[in-house]
């Protein structure tokens, strides 16, 4: 039988196999009372996204778990979908329109949304197509979108429910504002970077004594137009006498009061703070405490408004320059100090954010955070590794109300309606026809949309049919594992947790498996700006998806970063080749349609050894998978296939396959095929394509591998004695191979040997493995002795546990020939040494050649000297 292609070439079969799986519905899952469910919801990638290495790692981890559980008898559902990515998509569509010379305001909301849907139809499916290349076994018939009908209904229902419970409110609050994207941002959408800046020490003269002044340090003098107070600490002795007095806002001329508040840090700056409630969140809070006026002097685009007087119309930074210049010329600046400080920037466009007071919608977080903290404390949901619960707790314990409105058009429009006649606000699942208060039909819907995370927070249950009480929801919820990177624990995991608890009364998942980033070979973060990103699709094109999966999982431990490494890809290809060739070897020895008829009673020790080992490996792989230690599980499977099956077992049984004993032949084929089937199963979740392709070519497989049964630990396959014997044989073979290599003897050279076993047990072992020593190291004659007294020849020796081995040198080498060979070797090495020494003595070479070349020459010389020393000791040994 020889149906498997001669060469392993993943391109020949990966796409074909994926199609076969998908067309036959093997990825599909249904509520099934006879089985236990195992559910994973895919973190929905943005429709603007292209598959990158981070997704690849994230998805492969999920696919491994799903494939394993599917084979292990669970109703395994991996539910896929995409996220509408409100701000990211809107930015893309706006840019596209701009290239066509259109501004979104020109065409209006409805037309813009049409364009956005067109964009989604064209590009939104890109990432899901790419995902299929990885081998992702998602149930595509259930694919969802955060803005599809069901998810949108869930969003509206949640909004109305939380509003009615008083957990959603509208308020005039200070928020993070991006003057370029023209939208509010939540705290986590703001990134912080250190920027060069200055501390400007500005004079605020007293109203009642114009010769004296207070010095106030500020990093943002352009906000002075919005100052409405000066705050000092009530315990600050320097300033106590001024509390209640008034100062003049420099160049503006407005009078403001000096107030006492606990907030100012007496050690920082001058200890006195200018308070600008409209442009700083801390000042905003102080303003609320003291009922201060809120003066906003910068508009939504970052441009100065009428409050800035002469500076009106200037960009905020332009104004800063001009205003400082004018302060200087009016002798209102004491000094300017350089200082680096952290500024918030927009995570989308990197523009420095501008705190801004506006009307926004908020979710009250305090009541929702409590149950979410408790659920993890009670281990209802566990983080893997556990240490990540700290990030989770820290975030929830310090949470502020969540600003959920965004000044965008692409997204879920807020279901709030304002009566134009009486001012009533109506929040409703469906657009109301009349004002509930005055009956007016003159209603306008809120212009804003919801934060993208508002809908993805509902993902684990909205995708299963919520708010309907569906069978799916009952069966598949709560899900089992959420797989995600540590960077979105607070963005997303936290929000799914409190949403699940609030709306389903149950945690959304039992485990959160956290993984790290995929870094480049040097350990740097992959990024567009560094240009060091590696496209997973290119890797798949060159090496195949199995190789990419192998590379990303090998050596991976939960929670830690991993690296993209070409040598691991090469290793993976070597491994695939090895497995491929071993399979071809087995297949070539099978006859077409041959029913194997083994006799279990006459299995040999190597058969029993590999059966025992297989059982043990299944046990270990199960344990590692249960612990989410996927990297370790893969390592066990890899090690077994490469070392034990390919390198040992096949070699140990070869003579029987070519021998005359038919029963023996049947037995070895039976074991070869059955172990191969089990190891293909164990490897399948990690390398699904190659394993399925080989499986399809093995005889007697009616079912595809993907739905075959996960191997069971077989307690009958425990043969400790055979395991001991084969281990013993392997140790002997390895040490004799070593001796042959050291002596430059061909591995195939036949030899004789004296063996001194420690006791009767090892003596027995020797007899039962003699066959293997004959076959694998050409041991022609085995002499078992009590002690070494009667060995009078020159020998090479080795000691292993339970045994001393002596090989007569006369058997290993032909003395005359060897002397001749060593002589030649010595001459060659000596001439090389002379040449290298000459070169290194040459001053002009050492001084002028590149350091690297000189270094190489030194290393060469050292190597030749070492080799020569070995040759000399061999010559001495032979002559003695």
- Region of 263-271, 423-431, 551-559, 679-687 interacting with Zn ion (CB under 5 A): 423-431
Residue 300 beta carbon to Zn ion: minimum distance, rounded to whole angstroms: 12
Q: What gap in Å lies between CA 356 and CA 184, rounded to an integer?
A: 9
Please work out the total of residues on this chain that contact Zn ion, with binding judged by CB under 5 A: 15
Minimum CB distance to Zn ion, residue 177 (Å): 9
What is the nearest approach in angstroms of Zn ion to the Cβ of residue 428? 14
Torsion sign (Cα): 149, 150, 153, 158: negative
- Residue 589's contacts (CB-CB under 8 Å, 6 or more residues apart) are 657, 669, 672
Question: What angle in degrees, to the nearest 10, is found between the helix axes of 126-134 and 14-23?
Answer: 110
Nearest residue to 869 (alpha-carbon basis) of 817, 829, 814, 824: 829
Closest to Zn ion by CB, 180 vs 629, is 180
- From residue 373 to residue 412, the character string flagging contacts with Zn ion as x (rule: CB under 5 A) and all else as - is ----------------------------------------
CB 819 within 8 A of CB 878: yes
Q: Least distance in Å: CB of 442 to Zn ion?
A: 8
* DSSP H or E run through 37: strand 37-41
Spatial separation of the C-alpha atoms in residues 165 and 170, rounded to whole Å:
13
Report, in Å, the least distance between residue 180 CB and Zn ion. Answer: 4
Q: Does 424 engage in binding with Zn ion (CB under 5 A)? A: yes
CB count within 10 Å of CB 329 equals: 9
Interface with Zn ion, residue 5, by CB under 5 A: no
Q: Show the site string, 319-358: x = touches Zn ion by CB under 5 A, - = not.
A: ---------------------------x-xx-x-------
Smallest separation, CB 345 to Zn ion (Å): 8
- DSSP string over 196-228: EEEEEEEEEEBSS-TT-EEEEEES-GGGGGG--
User: Which CB, 438 or 588, lies closer to Zn ion?
Assistant: 438
Of 113-121, 197-205, 437-445, 454-462, the segment contacting Zn ion by CB under 5 A is 437-445
Distance CA 196, CA 337 (A): 11
**What is the 3-class SS of 669-697, one letter each residue?**
HHHHHHHHHHHHHHHCCCCHHHHHHHHHH
Which of the 8 DSSP states describes residue 658? S
- How far apart are alpha carbons 355 and 179 in whole angstroms? 10
Smallest gap from residue 426 Cβ to Zn ion (A): 8
Our CB check for Zn ion shows the closer of 145 and 417 to be 417
Minimum CB–partner distance for residue 160 and Zn ion (Å): 19
422 binds Zn ion (CB under 5 A): yes
3-state DSSP call for residue 146? coil
For residues 77-109, one letter each, b for 16 or more C-beta atoms within 10 angstroms of the residue's C-beta and e for the rest, the string is bbbbbbbbbbbbbbbbbbeebeeeeeebeeeee
Structure tokens at 89: 């998509």
Minimal distance in Å, beta carbon 418 to Zn ion? 9
Nearest approach in angstroms of CB 101 to Zn ion is 22
Interface map 525-544 toward Zn ion (x if CB under 5 A): --------------------
Segment interacting with Zn ion (CB under 5 A) among 29-37, 178-186, 445-453, 693-701: 178-186
Least distance (Å) between residue 446 CB and Zn ion? 15
Residue 567 and residue 523 in contact, taking contact as beta carbons nearer than 8 Å: no
Quick one: 299 or 857, whose CB is closer to Zn ion?
299
Q: Which of 414, 419, 489, 625 binds Zn ion (CB under 5 A)?
A: 419
175 binds Zn ion (CB under 5 A): no
* Smallest gap from residue 178 Cβ to Zn ion (A): 3
What residues contact 329, with CB distance under 8 A and at least 6 apart?
A: none
Closest to Zn ion by CB, 448 or 692: 448
627 vs 797: CA distance, rounded Å: 45
Looking at beta carbons only, is 316 or 874 nearer to Zn ion?
316
Kindly tell me which of 346 and 587 has the beta carbon lying closer to Zn ion.
346
One of 3, 24, 379, 440 touching Zn ion (CB under 5 A): 440
CB 305 within 8 A of CB 171: no
Distance from the Cα of residue 611 to its chain's centroid = 36
Task: Supply the minimum distance, in Å, between the C-beta of residue 159 and Zn ion.
Answer: 21
Options 245-253, 432-440, 479-487, 750-758: segment touching Zn ion (CB under 5 A): 432-440
Pure H helices in 489-603: 494-504, 536-543, 545-553, 566-588
Least spacing, CB of residue 147 vs Zn ion, in Å: 22
Q: How long a stretch of residues is the chain?
A: 880
Asked if 414 and 446 touch (Cβ cutoff 8 Å), the reply is yes
437 binds Zn ion (CB under 5 A): yes
C-beta closer to Zn ion: residue 234 or 431:
431
- Residue number, 36 or 180, with CB nearest to Zn ion: 180
Q: Per rule CB under 5 A, is residue 261 in the interface with Zn ion?
A: no
Select from 15-23, 368-376, 433-441, 461-469 the region that touches Zn ion (CB under 5 A).
Answer: 433-441
Please, what is the minimum distance in Å from the beta carbon of residue 633 to Zn ion? 43
Least separation, in Å, of the C-beta of 181 and Zn ion?
3
Q: Kindly state the smallest distance separating residue 220's Cβ from Zn ion, in Å.
A: 19
- Residue closer to Zn ion, measured from CB, 407 or 768: 407
Contact in structure between 114 and 102 (CB atoms under 8 Å):
no
Q: Which is nearer to Zn ion, 88 or 272 (CB)?
A: 88
Beta carbon of residue 48, minimum distance to Zn ion (angstroms, whole number): 15
Residue whose CB is less far from Zn ion, 57 or 419: 419
**Cβ-based nearer residue to Zn ion, 288 or 301:** 301
Of 650, 678, 652, which is closest to residue 777 (Cα–Cα)?
652
779 is a site residue for Zn ion (CB under 5 A)? no
H/E element, 626: helix 605-626
Write the CB contacts of 339 (distance below 8 Å, at least 6 apart in sequence): 197, 198, 199, 219
**Residue 182 sits in the site that holds Zn ion (CB under 5 A):** no
| HSE-up of residue 389 (Cα within 13 Å, Cβ side) | 16
CB of 419 closer than 8 Å to CB of 433: no
How far is 266 from 827, CA to CA, in rounded Å? 84
Interface with Zn ion, residue 438, by CB under 5 A: yes
The answer to whether 178 contacts Zn ion (rule: CB under 5 A) is yes
Edge-to-edge strand ranges of the sheet holding 246-248: 246-248, 255-260, 229-232, 272-275
- Which residue is it, tokens 């060739």? 581
Which of 22, 36, 180, 446 lies at the binding interface for Zn ion (CB under 5 A)? 180
Task: Identify the CA nearest to 521 among candidates 506, 539, 542.
Answer: 539
Stretch that binds Zn ion, among 222-230, 244-252, 435-443, 605-613 (CB under 5 A): 435-443
DSSP conformation letters of 173-185: EEEEEETTTTEEE
Tell me which H or E stretch contains 444: strand 443-445
Residue 442 vs 709, nearer CB to Zn ion: 442
Part in contact with Zn ion (CB under 5 A); list of ranges 172-180, 216-224, 401-409, 758-766: 172-180
| Nearer CB in complex with Zn ion: 348/763 | 348
First-residue to last-residue Cα distance in the chain: 56
Site for Zn ion, residues 91 to 110, rule: CB under 5 A: none
Among 175, 333, 435, 483, binds Zn ion (CB under 5 A): 435
Q: Which is nearer to Zn ion, 94 or 224 (CB)?
A: 94
Q: Considering beta carbons, is residue 181 or 319 the nearer one to Zn ion?
A: 181
Residues that bind Zn ion (CB under 5 A): 178, 180-181, 346, 348-349, 351, 419, 421-422, 424, 435, 437-438, 440
């Amino acid at each position: 039988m020889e149906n498997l292609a001669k060469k392993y070439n993943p391109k020949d079969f990966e796409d074909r196999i994926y199609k076969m799986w998908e067309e036959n519905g093997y990825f599909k899952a249904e509520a099934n009372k006879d089985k236990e469910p195992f559910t994973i919801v895919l973190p929905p990638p943005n429709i603007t996204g292209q598959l990158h290495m981070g997704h690849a790692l994230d998805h492969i981890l999920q696919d491994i778990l799903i494939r394993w559980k599917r084979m292990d008898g669970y109703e395994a559902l991996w539910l896929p979908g995409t996220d509408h990515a409100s701000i990211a998509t809107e930015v893309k569509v706006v840019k596209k329109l701009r290239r066509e010379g259109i501004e979104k305001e020109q065409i209006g909301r409805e037309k813009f949304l049409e364009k956005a849907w067109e964009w989604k139809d064209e590009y939104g499916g890109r990432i899901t197509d790419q995902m299929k290349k990885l081998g992702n076994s998602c149930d595509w018939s259930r694919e969802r979108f955060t803005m599809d009908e069901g998810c949108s209904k869930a969003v509206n229902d949640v909004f109305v429910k939380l509003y009615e419970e008083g957990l959603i409110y509208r308020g005039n609050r200070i928020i993070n504002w991006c003057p370029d994207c023209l939208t509010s941002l939540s705290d986590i959408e703001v990134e912080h970077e250190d920027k060069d800046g200055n501390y400007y020490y500005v004079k605020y003269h007293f109203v009642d004594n114009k010769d004296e002044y207070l010095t106030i340090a500020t990093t943002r003098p352009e906000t002075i137009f919005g100052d409405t107070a000066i705050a000092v600490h009530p315990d600050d002795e320097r300033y106590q006498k001024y509390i209640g007095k008034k100062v003049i806002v420099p160049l503006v001329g407005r009078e403001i009061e000096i107030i006492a508040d606990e907030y100012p840090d007496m050690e920082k700056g001058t200890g006195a703070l200018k308070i600008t409630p409209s442009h700083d969140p801390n000042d905003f809070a102080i303003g609320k405490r003291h009922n201060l006026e809120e003066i906003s002097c910068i508009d939504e685009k970052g441009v100065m408004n009428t409050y800035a007087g002469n500076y009106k119309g200037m960009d905020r930074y332009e104004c800063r320059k001009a205003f400082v210049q004018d302060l200087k010329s009016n002798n209102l600046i004491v000094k300017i100090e350089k200082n680096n400080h952290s500024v918030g920037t927009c995570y989308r466009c990197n523009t420095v954010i501008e705190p801004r007071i506006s009307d926004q919608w908020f979710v009250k977080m305090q009541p929702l955070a409590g149950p979410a903290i408790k659920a993890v404390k009670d281990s209802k949901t566990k983080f893997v590794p556990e240490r990540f619960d700290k990030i989770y707790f820290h975030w929830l314990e310090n949470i502020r109300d969540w600003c959920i409105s965004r000044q965008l058009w692409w997204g879920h429009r807020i279901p709030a309606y304002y009566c134009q006649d009486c001012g009533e606000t109506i929040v409703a699942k469906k657009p109301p026809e009349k004002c509930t208060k005055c009956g007016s039909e003159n209603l306008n819907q809120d212009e804003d949309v919801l934060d993208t995370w508002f809908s993805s927070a509902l993902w684990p249950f909205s995708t299963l049919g919520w708010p309907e009480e569906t069978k799916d929801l009952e069966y598949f919820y709560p899900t089992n594992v959420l797989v995600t990177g540590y960077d979105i624990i607070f963005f997303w995991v936290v929000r799914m947790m409190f949403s699940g608890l609030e709306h389903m009364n149950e945690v959304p998942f039992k485990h959160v498996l956290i993984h790290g980033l995929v870094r480049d070979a040097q350990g740097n973060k992959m990024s567009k700006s560094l240009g060091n990103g590696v496209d997973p699709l290119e890797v798949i094109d060159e090496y195949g998806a199995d190789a990419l999966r192998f590379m990303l999982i090998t050596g991976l431990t939960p929670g830690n970063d991993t690296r993209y490494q070409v040598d691991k890809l090469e290793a993976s290809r070597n491994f695939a080749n090895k497995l491929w060739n071993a399979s071809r070897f087995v297949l070539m020895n099978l006859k077409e349609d041959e029913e194997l008829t083994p006799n279990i009673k006459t299995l040999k020790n190597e058969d029993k050894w590999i059966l025992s080992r297989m059982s043990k490996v299944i046990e270990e792989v199960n344990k590692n998978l249960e612990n989410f230690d996927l990297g370790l599980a893969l390592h066990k499977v890899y090690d077994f296939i490469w070392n034990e099956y390919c390198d040992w077992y096949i070699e140990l049984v070869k003579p029987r396959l070519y021998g005359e004993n038919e029963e023996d032949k049947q037995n070895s084929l039976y074991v070869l095929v059955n172990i191969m089937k089990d190891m293909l199963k164990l490897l399948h979740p990690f390398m699904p394509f190659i394993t399925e392709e080989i499986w399809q070519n093995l005889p007697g497989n009616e079912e595809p591998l993907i739905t075959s049964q996960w191997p069971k630990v077989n307690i009958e396959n425990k043969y400790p004695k055979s395991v001991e014997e084969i281990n013993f044989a392997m140790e002997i073979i390895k040490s004799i191979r070593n001796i042959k290599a050291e002596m430059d003897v061909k591995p195939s050279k036949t030899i004789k040997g004296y063996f001194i076993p420690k006791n009767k047990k090892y003596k027995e072992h020797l007899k039962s493995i003699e066959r293997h020593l004959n076959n694998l190291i050409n041991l022609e004659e085995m002499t078992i002795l009590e002690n070494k007294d009667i060995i009078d020849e020159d020998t090479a020796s080795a000691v292993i546990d339970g045994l001393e081995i002596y090989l007569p040198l006369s058997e290993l080498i032909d003395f005359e020939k060897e002397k001749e060979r060593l002589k030649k070797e010595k001459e060659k090495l000596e001439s090389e040494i002379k040449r290298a020494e000459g070169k290194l003595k040459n001053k002009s070479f050492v001084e002028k050649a590149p350091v690297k070349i000189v270094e190489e020459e030194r290393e060469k010389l050292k190597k030749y000297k070492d080799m020569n020393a070995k040759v000399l000791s061999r010559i001495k040994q032979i002559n003695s």
